[in-house]
Structure 1
């Protein structure tokens, strides 16, 4: 045991991320690692923090983000995450990644809504990784490679068709190189126009690059509405075909006619998970957010504009009210607003609770950092789980809630020595008040720092305090997946 620490957090309630019971103890940190846990009254430190019984847990791992650009823009750009206690983000989701395809013109939606047009400059994953190492973020980053990005690289803008064998092979080769350079897996967004014409066989052909690498297959499925069961089957088929674990992104049952169908989807996922590694993430809201062109507007689903290039003043407005003012249909109004994004109130609370409570679930925010008026999940996801769903509703005990944000996610994504409080683990930590932690971000005021997150540390360095806000400390690192991990 070290005689002197850089940091000691004293008199904390420890929730270690494993799902095990809480206990009272001190935590000592030296450099980037936890060096001691227990009664550390005999040790001193350069800095001592009195927790006074508040909770110390592993820093939260955001299982699903679109922070590909944000992590390159300096530590302060990640306030929306560090203020929630997030210390690691998974980027490159839904088939969209900044690497390895540079784009000289504005990419097709939804790629343009995730990263600004002038950021599509990376011709390899190595180049993206080098930029991240040279200009570190305040959070750690684990990166996937997106199918939509690869399709544009192999097929140009001729995307309304299946790839030829040669194009699929080109995508496979690009993916293989990126995996060799440190990418953690392959993501698809088969729901979206740039990939919806890709048949299952094309996805399998590209995914062959994953075979034997330990990489993950992560997917925004082809359909999260009427054909959600078929999409689950397709997802598992792809993973089995190339011998890799699968992660279903932001699992939901979308559109009013599908409310309650988590009673069907969860047992189906369970049956597959009995003999194949299948996991899913989710966010704690009944509204989704994506490109305004992704779904046809319908009167029984409220839509709020998050951003619009031709009409920036429309951000925060109701789509149907705008359409009435303009004297056009909602579909025409959406077209006028493009490129643009929206929030779609298309899910049921009963499904959110059932999916969140399921043992296979993880928590991911799926926020849109570029949106002028983003979905509140960008700023509120993790405190909302802790406050609303754990403390107020009692859906999960606090140990289980933390587990779904930490160790569970670290195991699924193969992130060693993170997501757990133990001696020798990396010092990604969050100190929060279990009695007051709560999201403040709302659909009308989405850019709000949460209550109750006292301080966040990444690799032993403080990156956020509630009192002072984000620090300018570039403490984050690019992480690599380690495939051999025990089940969570």
Structure 2
């Protein structure tokens, strides 16, 4: 019993704290931006008490793999994320970041996934972070600097490796971003703007990371036939640069590669004994990115998410479009460019095996500006909690929460977040473990999830009673900042 005053007390719930520890019945007291107490607060003074009996009180979920850079400024309510319990997003993945880059021509794919030239207007990373701070969103954001963004802003041609002088220029831009608070450097070696970059170019850039305690995060060069070579390249970059490594949206694509997650996860385990390595996964058998012939070739089905040439065809299957146009699927794809697509190219068995891997974090990889997005944008976290945890029993609920909160905060260096503990920021999600589930699917991709009852960011409710509250208390999480530094 305490006489301390709290702004809000969440009373009577079961706290799953994000460490993997068993749940416990406890009240949570919020004061200002922080969790002020966890325990029996029955007699405490409080501005507001919320009965969360028979509900789970967990840390807000951390979406470690997003492309929400522009959404921070253009759609700051973040309904797609807060409606599923997300309180923090990591942006700038796959080598694509909105800064530092100024463009007056159309950005090459995949940079067009997050903005047209009007959005590429930040010459420095600090100016981008400042813009986010001046008009806060409903969620917190941590930031990665994109390799492809650096190449586009520095090189006259992208079909070659960078020269020594260009690497020096890119390192200068990268170090300005890290000094401004970026938490790491991302690559998308799978994509054209960076595909011709040799391993040594990436190592030379990544050498900047160690001094800042930052990490290397990568959409690897290959996630199908040559996946083992790509893992080897990734781990080599981390070793040579002396920095932690995170493999983005780990998967194995193409029917001939189904089952190879046994091989890849064994490789992760082996290297984790002597390297700091992490990975994330989204809980679906389909990927989504720009429309590319090599991705079409790996897929059993392709669904168009957007097309500049034919916006009316968003949401249609490529095979049906090709039939209407009287050509094969590759010719049809060319007629739709520039465009994006969903690729059904993975096995459920591999997805489940990677999800069960104790080191795998959860990231949505949603594309918020697609006209007909992949349902992972709206459904990832409730899908893990409802479908894979409760219904399929792949792991206990405490473990599901840990992989979406505490593990993620630790791997990305997010101070004072990711666990329900006194002194941490009050980023919290209250949900019903019996009813939580994703409702977004490939036909209704923007349907909000069920079972998420209330969501708090920095002590303020952003989602409650099935609707956004209008609050935008999110922060730009500059590297190294915590509650005491606020």
TM-score norm. by structure 2 comes to 0.97
Instruction: Check 1:272–1:4 CA distance in 2 against 1; reply closer, same or farther (3 A cut).
Output: same
Superposed structure 1 runs of 4+ greater than 4 Å apart: none
Instruction: Check 1:423–1:72 CA distance in 2 against 1; reply closer, same or farther (3 A cut).
Output: same
Instruction: State whether structure 2 residue 162 is matched by structure 1 residue 163.
Output: yes
Cα distance in 2 for residues equivalent to 1:284 and 1:299: 19
SS in 2 for 1:295: helix
Q: Which runs of 5+ in 2 are unaligned?
A: none
Instruction: Check 1:295–1:47 CA distance in 2 against 1; reply closer, same or farther (3 A cut).
Output: farther
Provide the alpha-carbon RMSD of the alignment.
1.3
Matches within 5 A, 1:81-160: 81-156=81-156, 158-160=157-159
Residue matched to 1:226: 225
SS in 2 for 1:464: strand
| 161-170 vs 54-63, greater mean Cα deviation | 161-170
1:59–1:86: 8 Å Cα contact kept in structure 2?
A: yes
Matches within 5 A, 1:263-342: 263-293=262-292, 295-298=294-297, 301-342=300-341
SS in 2 for 1:205: helix
Deviation at 1:294, TM superposition (A): 5.8
1:379–1:446: 8 Å Cα contact kept in structure 2?
A: yes
Matched positions, count: 481
Deviation at 1:336, TM superposition (A): 1.2
Cα distance in 1 for residues equivalent to 2:481 and 2:228: 28
Deviation at 1:127, TM superposition (A): 0.5
Deviation at 1:380, TM superposition (A): 0.1
Instruction: State whether structure 2 residue 196 is matched by structure 1 residue 197.
Output: yes
Deviation at 1:224, TM superposition (A): 0.4
Deviation at 1:457, TM superposition (A): 0.4
Cα distance in 2 for residues equivalent to 1:2 and 1:213: 42
Deviation at 1:44, TM superposition (A): 2.4
SS in 2 for 1:179: helix
SS in 1 for 2:12: strand
Instruction: Check 1:67–1:178 CA distance in 2 against 1; reply closer, same or farther (3 A cut).
Output: same
Residue matched to 1:434: 433
Cα distance in 2 for residues equivalent to 1:2 and 1:369: 45
Alpha-carbon displacement from aligned partner over 1:445-485 (angstroms, at most 9, x marks no partner): 10010000001000000111143x1122121001133499x
SS in 1 for 2:208: helix
Deviation at 1:62, TM superposition (A): 0.3
TM-score norm. by structure 1 comes to 0.97
Cα distance in 2 for residues equivalent to 1:69 and 1:2: 44
Deviation at 1:177, TM superposition (A): 1.0
Alpha-carbon displacement from aligned partner over 1:229-279 (angstroms, at most 9, x marks no partner): 111110011011111000000000011111110000001011111011000
Instruction: Check 1:2–1:192 CA distance in 2 against 1; reply closer, same or farther (3 A cut).
Output: farther
1:24–1:53: 8 Å Cα contact kept in structure 2?
A: no
Deviation at 1:296, TM superposition (A): 4.9
Cα distance in 1 for residues equivalent to 2:298 and 2:101: 38
Residue matched to 2:357: 358
Instruction: Check 1:370–1:139 CA distance in 2 against 1; reply closer, same or farther (3 A cut).
Output: same
Instruction: State whether structure 2 residue 376 is matched by structure 1 residue 371.
Output: no
Residue matched to 2:464: 465
Alpha-carbon displacement from aligned partner over 1:116-164 (angstroms, at most 9, x marks no partner): 33211111101101100100010000000000000001114x1111111
Residue matched to 1:445: 444
Instruction: Check 1:396–1:371 CA distance in 2 against 1; reply closer, same or farther (3 A cut).
Output: same
1:293–1:338: 8 Å Cα contact kept in structure 2?
A: no
Instruction: Check 1:421–1:294 CA distance in 2 against 1; reply closer, same or farther (3 A cut).
Output: farther
Cα distance in 1 for residues equivalent to 2:145 and 2:269: 27
Cα distance in 1 for residues equivalent to 2:189 and 2:80: 28
Instruction: Check 1:182–1:217 CA distance in 2 against 1; reply closer, same or farther (3 A cut).
Output: same
